[in-house]
Amino acid sequence: MAFSQEQLPELLLRYFRQQREIFGDGFVLSREKWEVLLHSLERGGPVPAGPIDPKKKAELLHQFYEQIKNCQRCPLGETRINFVFGVGDPDAKLMLIGEAPGKDEDEQGEPFVGRAGQLLNKILKAIQFEREEVYIANILKCRPPNNRDPLPDEVAQCEPYLHRQIEIIQPKLILALGRVAGQTLLKTKTSLANLRGRLHEYRGIPLIVTFHPAALLRNPQFKRPTWYDVQYARKVYDAIMAGRPPETISYPSP
């Protein structure tokens, strides 16, 4: 069978996954070695240890993009116009994570450029952030048909890409936009209502969940609570950047 260099990690990963499925975690490698191996293949590189030189991050992200931009791991690869990787400062301290590209994003190849994106830019401005200084990405890199919710298998195939982006960017705070992003990152089925208003953690990185901007367009009554959420996020961010424990920040009471 002929395959290119680029396909090798993909093929190996599929092979190892099959083997693990058939023989279980104890097959050939110990559980820890499986973790390291699969992590390395899924993320497209070794697990970075310690801080990454900010000057290297743009290059690492670009290399990673080149590696995954033709992804066909799930059927969305066939229907997409563009693979929507992410946009913003590779050394951003605040990272925003949405659900999946919509029509405009699919057409333009950039996250949050449609109506929800315009609103997101305003929300960012309201808490003194410029779009350019944060990093914006989605759980899924390709648009689901008719903007339906991501399927579990699509998330399973795509989420490792986001993990790798987070590993490179090393943000100090993550703002998850909407139920899908929050539940996916936190591996929970807890409702959005119960995820909002408190500090979570994603692999050691503080994380806050708020409404999805598209939900605000459909339900203007979500705008006020979102305002409290993002003010909270700003305060938590400021605390983290000042070296103060973010747990001490209380949610602003209406």
**Rule CB under 6 A: which residues touch ligand URA?**
98-102, 105, 111-112, 116-117, 138, 178-180, 192, 211-212, 214-215
Smallest gap, in angstroms, from Cβ of residue 116 to ligand URA?
A: 5
What radius of gyration, in Å, describes the C-alpha atoms of the chain?
19
Residue with smaller CB distance to ligand URA, 158 or 214: 214
Comparing CB distances to ligand URA, the nearer of 91 and 229 is 229
User: Given the complex with ligand URA, which of 72 and 191 has the nearer CB atom?
Assistant: 191
Rounded to the nearest whole angstrom, what is the least distance from the CB of residue 149 to ligand URA in the complex?
8
Q: How far is the CB of 79 from ligand URA (least distance, A)?
A: 16
Tokens of 234: 């700003």
For ligand URA, the closer of residues 111 and 206 by Cβ is 111
Q: SS3 sequence, the chain?
A: CCCCHHHHHHHHHHHHHHHHHHHCCCCCCCHHHHHHHHHHHHCCCCCCCCCCCHHHHHHHHHHHHHHHCCCCCCCHHHHCCCCCCCEECCCCCEEEEECCCCHHHHHHCCCCCCHHHHHHHHHHHHCCCCHHHCEEEECCCCCCHHHCCCCHHHHHHHHHHHHHHHHHHCCCEEEEEHHHHHHHHHCCCCCHHHHCCCCEEECCEEEEEECCHHHHHHCHHHHHHHHHHHHHHHHHHHHHHCCCCHHHCCCCCC
Question: Least distance from C-beta 141 to ligand URA, angstroms?
Answer: 10
Tell me whether residue 52 or residue 215 sits nearer to ligand URA (CB atom). 215
**Which residue lies nearer to ligand URA by CB, 170 or 184?**
184
| CB nearer ligand URA, residue 10 or residue 183 | 183
Minimum CB separation of residue 6 from ligand URA in Å reads 26
Contacts of 65 (CB under 8 A, 6+ apart): 85
Q: How far is CA 70 from CA 14, 58, 141, in A?
A: 17, 19, 11
Shortest distance, CB of residue 38 to ligand URA, whole angstroms?
Answer: 27
In the numeric block, the tokens 């579990």 are attached to 152
* Residues 38 and 12: beta-carbon distance below 8 Å: no
Q: Tell the smallest beta-carbon distance from residue 112 to ligand URA (Å).
A: 4
